[in-house]
Amino acid sequence: MTKNTCDSQILVTMSHEREIEIKEELQINLKLPKTIGNIEDVWVIFNREYENPCIIKKMEKTKEEKDFIEYKVMVNFLPFNRYENYFFFFSLTIDGKEYSIKINRKTKKPFITNGESPYFRILVINNDFTVPSWAKNAVFYQIFVDRFYKSPNLKTAKIEGRNYRNWGEMPDWKRNNKGEFHNNDFFCGNIKGIEEKLEYLKKLGVDVIYISPINFSTYRYERYAATDHLKIDPAVGDFEDLDSLHRKANSKGMHIILDIAFNHCNSDNPIFQDAINNKNSKYRNWFYIDNQGNYEYWYGLFKDMPIFNQHNYDYQQYVYGENGVIAKFAKYVDGFRLDLAEALEPFFLEGIRKAARKYGRKLIVGECWEKASSYILGKGLDCITNYPYANAVLKYVAFGEADYLKRETFNIIESYPKNTLDTMLNALDTHDTMRALTILSLKCVRNGYDRIWEIDKDPSIWHVETNYGRDFLTDEFRKFEFENDKLSKEEYELAVKRLKIAFVLMGTLPGNLCIFYGTEKGMHGFKDPFNRKCMTWEENDNSLEQFFKGYLHFWKKFKGSKIDLEYLELNDKICMIEVKNKENSMLTIINRSDREEQIKIPEKYLSAKEENIFIENGTKKILHGFGAISIIL
């Protein structure tokens, strides 16, 4: 039952709009019409997600007029020391009966009810949470160092045991002679190669270069499991090369962030070898090793990736102590991307952030596949790799999942501090997913996966019943990926059309655009290793590259945050979004269907200057199939 009260007669205001630092007090004001009946006590009740109420406070009556009564309450979150979303509603007694004031699902305004409905919310954040100004409204570009560009100016000796390959060959996807899948294909892209392509990146529109790990790793080209965290792999270069790249990038107005993995190391790491072979080793407790010599390794599958014990003080000092890994690299980069941030303890993340910021206001990005806990934002991490957005955008463009797109958009916006929203990395593809073009070609991609790129998730044609349960045919799966790697002309052209509108849609959502190397040149491929092929410098789709340049030039004209967002129209054909702030506003419309659609642009956008209008495959009145228009005021 709902009390018959006009939503507009109830007014709820707060001293802070959407977020508040934990040291501050929140003032909540409530104005109620007397027409609802005899009002007795009014309470405000707070809880965190999935928890019982943690704050229950009686509201003070501050003013009574002929038609209205006003109430006030002050709320302090400091005793709880938790940086999270706090949900609240009002409980009140009217004419002897209990009611609540919550949010009307349809009108989005407060109303009186005794049923289920959304709560109000406030995000409590860490005190003095700041991020580097250069990390906002920025275009990030992810480089897989071994596969981006091999400068002929770096000469290094070959390391025994590595499988050296010629640039542009297909990465080895079969088992080795030991029957193992490996990561031992070295194409020898290097730091000098990145430096020599800075002008290319600048012209593309890149502001921040995000490079994969460069730590020494004997047999792993991707270097996500280090043999020595304190050294740079000689095939990549040295600290002098990193310093040169950093200085030259900064001189062009670009910044460098470095990917690094602290959850685990390579099993040939001398530290681990000493720990596993010597029960009295000073490194023994750096890992989880039992008396029989069994040890914990990543995901319970990769024995060559033993997990570090983050609670060990000496390991903490190795990572973020005065002479640790962070201290050694921080002077040469502008920030870090932390691999498997979801597996790193909050205190450990905080230690890394503090150590890095001794060398300036570094950006700390965390790899997060799910929604990150607010507790670590502004304390351990600044922002995240935003996989949920990528999934939602790709699902909408591929299958028209409009409700999912809208739900995920606001789930992110309502869950993160503004500084995180403004700096998070929004990429359509990365080294851990299929290439966006292959996804959008819909080659073996079915609707219904939790994540659109998880084509190898059970059930699939590669999952079979055995005497031991369900088994995955890895060899057959990789063979399928290899045999279907090349897109036909028709598949490619359709995927490019979808890629363009997906990129425009992503550019409308809060956060920074992030490009995986080669996406702008039409690179495609299934999962690792097919998504990690060498950059195609010779053969590429120049028209696609020009699209990226044009849109990025346009995108940078929008200044400020995009968290004030509204879907003006959203269905399985048309998506119309408006984002606005104190500085400007942007309207974006995309047509995900293959047919021409009439569009009606809100009148205020019709007066925009031509240079503030981006049109792909359409006009101001119609969008052709897979067309887009975006206008900035």
Please report, as a single letter, which amino acid is at residue 539: E
3-state secondary structure of 388: helix
Please answer whether residues 219 and 183 qualify as being in contact, where contact means their C-beta atoms are separated by less than 8 angstroms. yes
Averaged over 447-452, what is the pLDDT?
89
**SS3 of residue 376 by DSSP:** helix
pLDDT score for 6 = 53
Whole-angstrom Cα distance, residue 234 to residue 222? 14
Q: Domains in the chain, start-ordered, CATH in brackets?
A: 7-125 (2.60.40.10), 564-632 (2.60.40.1180)
Distance CA 121, CA 264 (A): 38
Torsion sign over Cα 633, 515, 198, 337: positive
DSSP per residue, 488-542: PHHHHHHHHHHHHHHHHHHHHSSSEEEEETTGGGT----STTTTSPPP-SSS--H
Give Rg (Cα) of the chain: 27
pLDDT at residue 1, rounded to an integer: 35
Question: Which residues, listed in sequence order, are joined to residue 441 by a DSSP beta bridge?
Answer: none
Q: Under the phi-then-psi rule, with left for phi > 0, alpha for psi from -120 to 50, and beta for the rest, what region is 223?
A: left
Q: What is the residue-averaged pLDDT of the chain?
A: 94
| pLDDT for 585 beyond 80 | yes
With H, G, I as helix, E, B as strand and everything else as coil, classify residue 8. Answer: helix
pLDDT value at residue 8: 65
**Angle 313-320/346-356 helices, nearest 10 degrees?**
30
Percent of all residues in the chain with a pLDDT value above 70, rounded to a whole number: 98
pLDDT over 80 (residue 70): yes
Which band of pLDDT confidence, cut at 50, 70 and 90, is reported for residue 84? confident
**Could you check whether the bond before residue 346 is cis, i.e. omega within 30 degrees of 0?**
no
What's the start-to-end Cα distance of the chain, in Å? Answer: 44
Burial of 351 (0-12, 13-18, 19+ CB in 10 A): buried
- Average pLDDT value for residue range 563-576: 97
For residues 469 and 104, what is the distance between their CA atoms, to the nearest angstrom? Answer: 48
pTM: 0.94
Average pLDDT over residues 119-135: 93
Neighbours of 295 (CB within 10 A): 16
User: Has residue 573 got a pLDDT over 60?
Assistant: yes
Q: Average of pLDDT values for 62-79?
A: 94
Question: Cα–Cα distance between 386 and 413 in angstroms, integer?
Answer: 12
Of 435, 534, 547, nearest to 487 by C-alpha is 435
Contact yes or no for 498/398 (Cβ under 8 A): yes
The mean pLDDT value for 342-361 works out to 96
- 10 Å Cβ neighbour count for 491? 18
The pLDDT of 489-496, averaged and rounded, is: 96
Identify whether the C-beta of residue 556 lies closer than 8 Å to the C-beta of residue 205: yes
Q: Reduce the DSSP state of residue 2 to 3 states and report it.
A: strand
pLDDT tops 80 at residue 540:
no
pLDDT band of residue 446 (cuts 50, 70, 90) is confident
Is the pLDDT reported for residue 3 higher than 70?
A: no
- Beta bridge partner(s), residue 208: 140, 255
Closest CA to 218 of 148, 276, 304, 159: 159
CB 555 within 8 A of CB 506: no
Nearest to 625 by CA among 580, 572, 573, 552: 573
d(CA 260, CA 368): 14
Structure tokens at 256: 């460098």
Task: Name the residue with tokens 């590595």.
Answer: 162
Share above pLDDT 90 across residues of the chain, in percent, rounded to a whole number: 85
Q: In angstroms, rounded to a whole number, what is the distance separating the alpha carbons of residues 184 and 186?
A: 6
Q: Which two tokens stand for residue 625?
A: 């199939």
Dump pLDDT digits (tens) for 174-227: 988 888 888 899 999 999 999 999 999 999 999 999 999 999 999 999 999 999
Whether 7 shows a pLDDT value over 70: the answer reads no
* Interatomic CA distance for residues 461 and 442, integer angstroms: 16
pLDDT at position 238 over 80: yes
Q: What does the DSSP 8-state code read for residue 280?
A: T
Distance, C-alpha 215 to centroid of its chain: 23
Query: Which residues, in sequence order, are CB contacts of 491 under 8 Å at separation 6+?
Result: 441, 443
